Amino acid sequence: MSIDKDKIKHISKLARILVDEKKINGLTKDLSSIFKFIEQLNELNTDKVEPLSSILNKPLRSRKDEINDGKIRDQILKNSPQKNDKFFVVPKVIE
Amino acid sequence: MSDISKKSLTEIVKLIKKKEIKSEELTKSYIKNINSDKKLNSFITTCSEEALRKAKDFDKKPIFDTLLPGIPIAVKDLFCTRDVRTTAGSKMLENFVPNYESTITNNLWNEGAFLLGKLNCDEYAMGSSNETSYFGNVMNPIAENTVPGGSSGGSASALAAGLTPTTIGTDTGGSIRQPASFTGTVGLKPTYGLCSRWGIVAFASSLDQAGPMTKTVSDCALMLQAMVSFDKKDSTSINKKKENYSTSLTNNIKGLKIGIPKEYRVDGMSKEIDKLWENGKKILKDSGAEIIDISLPNTKYALPTYYIVAPAEASSNLARYDGVKYGFRSNKGNDLIEMYENTRSEGFGDEVKRRILIGTYVLSSGYYDAYYIKAQKVRQMIKNDFDQAFKNVDAILTPSTPSSAFKIGEKKNDPISMYLNDIFTVPINLAGIPAISIPAGSDINNYPLGMQLICKPLDEQKLLNIAYAAEKKINFKQSLNRWWEK
């Protein structure tokens, strides 16, 4: 699988990362060589292998869905890059 | 450097318990050393005042029946620490101050330790040389302009230079063991699930594991004991009886079977590494162990598998950084989507973006089966190799890294050659098993080299015992000219 500029643009859109036009050539080259490296896996026949689902060999534990904290709005808001006194603020989404 | 900071953690704990040194005096000597950190750049944040206050509090009302009484400890800046900024080495989290404490650091504080500072690391732990950190390169105390390894590079550098008596790191593909190997220190990656991941900035959740980085194997046993706990808040935390690694430590390894995997003899590996490996075999044999040749046939596919699985999980974990609830936000963009795109473009560094893009691609519609499912199948085969091997051996011996520490900038522009650093460490994370790197010798430049011991899941005691026996026989000594203090 070769990686070209259009593919990079498509993936960066999916990942919500704006890619600088100036960096796109270098990125295409790097990702192409990484995918060439990754594709060594195609040498292996894996038809009869089940994909690994958990390294612990057992299903994950689930916990009761209980409220165990709360009333920490101000603490949570403290780390927000933009807020008013009660809410996170984002650019306008509804016209 | 004061004499006290040359001592091992185990020795320091003894001195504190015997009341031969006070926590305040101890803490002051590390703070003094940290003041010379400018050229090493191993710290992102120092907590000197708060640490001194804690030390004085301890001395006023000392409690000695804990594992780490009155010990100041600096930790990798990937562990969330309440009210102390936690950056993960990223611009994205430059001003992030958690209002909670990670389980692992909390366990250390419950054993009597307190925070000395936050240590530099590769951005989101993605790197093998600490060159991806937003807060700049870290230098290896062994020589100027030499990398300390990564991603726990600041941890390894600070430990080796005597700026903290012990430290903790995280290891997703070798991020504890490779820097330990590069700096002549001991680093252990525990069994997946043994140490809680709660409160650690996530990179690749099925591979990430915290572990101790120490000067000696005894220190490592002590620290692991302090770190391990069952944690309800981590759904992958293993619920088992707490072991007493430190007091159970023995160098009696008579009759243990040690496997030597032929596939770890890779092309282009230096003669020095080969010699080191041979010497390791001899030492374990002299200690009464039996050496057995084994095969781990899918070893060569571990790194390609890792570079699908780890970026896939990273792209998913790092989707949370959108500039809304916490972290950096770009002021560019006309709507919400453009705000996201600019925030993530400006807030992440090049390597992190590269891995998010790889991960996004391998998980995207039409490619998921060809890449991600394929990799999970090969991961199963790699795990089966180890399961098979451990039917016949107690442990496996390999080199920790294919080379010693390299120069800053040497591999930065070639991602594949950088990734190859982790060729011996990555398979262990994929299989979820424990491994330790201990200093085993030096190369022609007098740079340290590590050897790696690997055991089956939850066999940490055996792993530590073998490492302890080897450490005694190797008797590695490192003398640093302390160039960064000049």
Query: Cβ–Cβ of B322/A16 closer than 8 Å?
Result: yes
Residue B486 lies in a domain: no
Q: How many domains does chain B have?
A: 1
Query: Cβ–Cβ of A78/B99 closer than 8 Å?
Result: yes
The verdict on A45 touching B (C-beta cutoff 8 Å) is no
> So where are chain A's domains?
5-43
Residue among B361, B387, B412 with most chain A CBs within 10 A, to mutate: B361
The share of chain A scoring above pLDDT 90, in percent, equals 69
**Residue B455 in 3-state DSSP?**
strand
Q: What ipTM describes this predicted complex?
A: 0.95
Query: Cβ–Cβ of B415/A41 closer than 8 Å?
Result: no
State the burial class of residue B245 (Cβ atoms within 10 Å of its Cβ: 0-12, 13-18, 19+): buried
Of B213, B209, B182, whose CA–CA distance to B411 is shortest?
A: B182
Residue type, B455: C
Residue B123 lies in a domain: yes
The verdict on B205 touching A (C-beta cutoff 8 Å) is no
Q: CA-to-CA distance for B429 and B421, rounded, in angstroms?
A: 14
The verdict on A94 touching B (C-beta cutoff 8 Å) is no
- What six digits make up the tokens of B354? 């590269």
Cβ neighbours of B301 in A, within 8 Å: 40-41, 44
Query: Cβ–Cβ of B373/A31 closer than 8 Å?
Result: no
Residue of chain A minimizing CA distance to B457: A56
Q: Which domain holds residue B466?
A: 4-258+392-478
pLDDT score recorded for residue A60: 82
Residue B342 lies in a domain: no
Cβ neighbours of A50 in B, within 8 Å: 377, 380
The verdict on A44 touching B (C-beta cutoff 8 Å) is yes
Query: Cβ–Cβ of B378/A93 closer than 8 Å?
Result: no
Alpha helices in B94-206 (DSSP H): 103-110, 153-160, 177-183
Residue B139 lies in a domain: yes
CA distance B315 to chain A (A): 8
pLDDT score recorded for residue B418: 87
pTM of the model: 0.97
Of B195, B6, B28, whose CA–CA distance to B116 is shortest?
A: B28
Average pLDDT over residues A14-32: 94
CA distance A23 to chain B (A): 10
pLDDT score recorded for residue A1: 60
Residues with Cβ within 8 Å of B320's Cβ and at least 6 positions away in sequence, in order, are: none
The verdict on B379 touching A (C-beta cutoff 8 Å) is yes
Is residue B452 a contact partner of residue B435, using CB atoms and an 8 Å limit?
yes
Cβ neighbours of A92 in B, within 8 Å: 335-336
Residue of chain B minimizing CA distance to A10: B361
The verdict on B97 touching A (C-beta cutoff 8 Å) is yes
pLDDT score recorded for residue B2: 65
Query: Cβ–Cβ of B99/A8 closer than 8 Å?
Result: no
Q: CA-to-CA distance for B99 and B324, rounded, in angstroms?
A: 17
Please identify among residues 103-162 of chain B the ones whose CB lies closer than 8 Å to any CB of chain A: none
Alpha helices in A1-95 (DSSP H): 5-14, 24-38, 73-77
Q: How confident is the model at residue A56 (pLDDT cuts 50, 70, 90)?
A: confident
Residue among B308, B343, B360, B368 with most chain A CBs within 10 A, to mutate: B360
Query: Cβ–Cβ of B432/A56 closer than 8 Å?
Result: yes
**Residue B155 in 3-state DSSP?**
helix
Q: CA-to-CA distance for B474 and B476, rounded, in angstroms?
A: 5
Active site residues of B: 76, 151, 175
CA distance A74 to chain B (A): 11
Strands (E), B275-394: 290-294
Residue of chain A minimizing CA distance to B316: A15
Query: Cβ–Cβ of A30/B364 closer than 8 Å?
Result: no
Cβ neighbours of B361 in A, within 8 Å: 7, 11, 31
Residue B250 lies in a domain: yes
Query: Cβ–Cβ of B308/A62 closer than 8 Å?
Result: no
Counting as low any pLDDT under 70, the low residues of chain B are 1-2
Q: CA-to-CA distance for B198 and B176, rounded, in angstroms?
A: 18
**CATH number of the CATH domain containing B72:** 3.90.1300.10
CA distance B367 to chain A (A): 10
Query: Cβ–Cβ of A80/B324 closer than 8 Å?
Result: yes
Q: CA-to-CA distance for B452 and B401, rounded, in angstroms?
A: 9
What would you measure as the largest C-alpha separation in chain A, in angstroms?
58
Angle between helices A24-38 and B350-362 (to 10 degrees): 50
Cβ neighbours of A40 in B, within 8 Å: 300-301, 304
Residue B441 lies in a domain: yes
The verdict on A75 touching B (C-beta cutoff 8 Å) is yes
Work out how many CB contacts closer than 8 A connect A with B: 154
